Amino acid sequence: MTASGSGRPTAVFLMNALRAFGRSLLPDERRERIAASIAISSAIGFALLLGWGASALLAVTRTGLAQLPELQPGFLLVHLLRALYAGAAFLLLLGSLTSSVSLLFLSDDLPALLPLPISHRRLFLGLLLRSIGAASAPTWFLATPLVAVAALHSPSPSLTVAALSLSLLSVVLVAGGAGAIAALLLVRIVPPRRARLLAATLSAVGLAGALIAIRGTRPERLFDPMQALEILRRLGTVPPAPSTGPAGWLAAASYDALSGSVSGLAAAAALAAGALMLVTLVAVSLAPVHLATWRRSAESSSDTASGADRRIVRSLGRELLAAEGRSFLREASTPAQLGSLVAVFVLDLLNLRLLPAHDAAARDLVGGVQTALALFLVSALSLRFAYPAVSTDGRAALVLRSFPLSPGRHLAARYAVRAFPAVVATLFLIAVSGAALRLDGLPLAASLATGLVGALSIPALHLGLGALYPRYGASSAVAAALGPGGLFAMAASTVLALLAAPVVSQELRALLSVLSGLRLDERTLLAAWCGLSLLAGAAPLLLAVRSLGRRDVSLA
């Protein structure tokens, strides 16, 4: 291979980055390739599903609107676009905050780039755009099918694609840039590593707040025809307020373009150019601040005399537990991901009030579903925190293997740290659900028993499979989890969670009995489920204990 295509640094950097991205999508190693193929297929499938859903929704809306002549589709569309742009801006701001702290202050390539003869203004602009690009990738992914559907149903598809893409670009640049500035300010106040934790926590709290706020608007009203009609009348008969803010300008430009007007494209292009100019100006003026802040933070890390750990080591067992706890809590993405799961947890509890629990049969059914949902949450937690527990040792695996430490004992410590929060969260969720649904007697006991056994087994299943097929070379815990093994563990634990529903619910058991023609005794079913669940958890753990002491440690 020759080094063809040499030229300007930015062009070479982009070309190298594109090639590197291609290598991530098509890795050399077979297992990595399977994982990448699954991820790509899932992404394409999700995008197609989203596009299909949007298309179906559009068709239903058109039919409905034809029967409601008093509603103005334009009013509804502008309201919708405004909400979408404002929502995208909010999510981008949160995403960019965390990614900017990492990229602008903690990335490994900064000390390699800074000594190169590149002006810091240019370097900072490049870093800022990379950070915005990284934070906006999910937004582009979600928006692409929607833009495609909008284009297919508009009088001028190319005009629509261009105008909507430029409008979204404006949102991405402004909101992403604002997140980066917020990150810069944050690092001026606290050191980068703490700032990253703080940013991740702020993002998670913001996201959780947004989810709960959306829940607070009672979207379930849309399932009630009378209430849905009332909402549509309110939005579809009152003209939107004049476009005074950026979201309004973008909505107006997009609406014009969707109607086939070139002025919409011109307005979207002007807004995108303005946003790009704004980001460039901000980058140029804040570059010296970034350099000074980076230097200060690099210096403060040299100055760090971290509080010495003066605990007395009492036993290896306690030390292993403490070490696992530290690894678990100090990982940068933990607060954000735990925060998101807490939001799901809160939403689940809020939903309890809305579920049809007016009679005993409905309460029994909901009790079963709630148990399954609690165990599904444990599956999600386990995929993220238990499956990659061994892989995240990374290079330390070489040293660990050289220690006179039993793999079984170490795995037990890893398990204890992950199973304990799972048990507490599951039992709390099930107990609150049980109280809200007024469950008692055997249904409540069955629900608590399945919750307890499931919360003990599912982390074991994930930890065991992750330890059987460790990926020490994975770049992060998430990358380690999203391989074929992690997806298999998630599928297996989801099946266990689903099977828990008929174990708890008499109504579901009756339904299954009718469908299968078998008599399903509640006690037998509970015992069988607990046995299966414990086996599914214990088998991979025991196999992993054998395998960890013998398998080659591969860091590739």
Partner 1 sequence: MSRGVEEGHPGAVQFDAASKKYGERLALDALTLRVKPGEIFALVGPNGAGKTTAIGLLTGLLTPTAGRVLVFGLDVSLEPLAVKRRLGLVPDRPWIWPKWTPREALRFTGAVFGMTGRALDERIEAELEAFSLAEAGDQRAETLSHGTRQKAALAQAFLHDPDLFVLDEPMVGLDPAAQRNLVARLRERTRTGAAVLFTTHHLSLAEEIADRTGVLGEGRLLAAGDPRDLQGPRGMRGRLSEVFFGLTERA
Tokens 């939107």 belong to which residue? 240
Q: Of 225, 226, 303, 353, which one interacts with partner 1 (CB under 8 A)?
A: 303
Q: State which amino acid sits at residue 418.
A: R
Q: Of 299, 319, 440, 521, which one interacts with partner 1 (CB under 8 A)?
A: 299
Give the Cα-Cα-Cα angle 468, 474, 480 (nearest 5 degrees). 55
Residue 217 binds partner 1, judged by CB under 8 A: no
Q: Which stretch binds partner 1 (CB under 8 A): 7-15, 321-329, 354-362, 433-441?
A: 7-15
Q: DSSP secondary structure string, 57-75?
A: HHHHHHHHHHT-TTS-HHH
- At closest approach, how far in Å is the CB of 330 from partner 1? 21
Cβ contact 466:543 at 8 Å: no
Cβ contact 167:271 at 8 Å: yes
x-or-dash string of contact with partner 1, 450-479, rule CB under 8 A: -----------------------x-x----
Total interface residues for partner 1 by CB under 8 A = 39
Residue 117 binds partner 1, judged by CB under 8 A: yes
Cβ contact 340:205 at 8 Å: no
Q: Which stretch binds partner 1 (CB under 8 A): 18-26, 222-230, 315-323, 354-362?
A: 18-26
Q: Of 63, 112, 518, 550, which one interacts with partner 1 (CB under 8 A)?
A: 112
End-to-end CA distance of the chain: 23
Q: Nearest-CA neighbor of 178 among 113, 88, 254, 253? A: 88
- At closest approach, how far in Å is the CB of 46 from partner 1? 25
Token duo for residue 7: 């030229």
User: Rg for the chain (alpha carbons), in Å?
Assistant: 27
Cβ contact 344:377 at 8 Å: yes
Residue 209 binds partner 1, judged by CB under 8 A: no
Crossing angle of helices 334-352 and 360-385, rounded to 10°: 180
Q: Which stretch binds partner 1 (CB under 8 A): 19-27, 52-60, 384-392, 499-507?
A: 19-27
Q: Which stretch binds partner 1 (CB under 8 A): 103-111, 144-152, 339-347, 483-491?
A: 103-111
Residues in CB range of 362: below 8 A, 6 or more apart: 355, 356
- At closest approach, how far in Å is the CB of 468 from partner 1? 23
Residue 398 binds partner 1, judged by CB under 8 A: no
Nearer to partner 1, 112 or 213 (CB): 112
Residue 23 binds partner 1, judged by CB under 8 A: yes
- At closest approach, how far in Å is the CB of 435 from partner 1? 51
Nearer to partner 1, 10 or 263 (CB): 10
x-or-dash string of contact with partner 1, 119-158, rule CB under 8 A: xx--------------------------------------
Cα four-point dihedral sign 379, 382, 383, 387:
negative
Q: Nearest-CA neighbor of 416 among 323, 342, 488, 482? A: 323
- Which parts of this chain interact with partner 1 (CB under 8 A)? 1-9, 11-13, 16-17, 19-21, 23-24, 108-109, 111-112, 114-120, 295, 298-300, 302-303, 473, 475, 556
